């Protein structure tokens, strides 16, 4: 994983944490699943 991809992934995770904190867990789950699918596909961000 390239440094810029890592930063983007960390930002997505931080956004998901923010959504959970503010009671929007369902949106957070969909965001994390999309990130996971992207990373597993090897496409990066």
Are the C-beta atoms of residues 44 and 5 closer than 8 Å to each other? yes
What are the residue boundaries of the structural domains of the chain, listed by start?
3-40
Closest CA to 32 of 8, 16, 14: 16
Paired tokens of 38:
């992207």
The pLDDT tens digits of the residues spanning 1-45 come to 788 889 999 999 999 999 999 999 999 999 999 999 988 998 666
Q: String of b and e for 1-36 (b: at least 16 CB within 10 Å)?
A: eeeeeeebbeebeeebeebeeeeeeeebeebbeebe
Question: pTM of this prediction?
Answer: 0.76
């Amino acid at each position: 994983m390239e440094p810029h991809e890592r930063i983007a992934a960390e930002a997505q995770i931080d956004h998901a944490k923010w959504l959970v904190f503010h009671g929007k867990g369902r949106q957070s789950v969909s965001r994390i699943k999309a990130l996971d699918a992207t990373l597993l596909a090897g496409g990066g961000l």
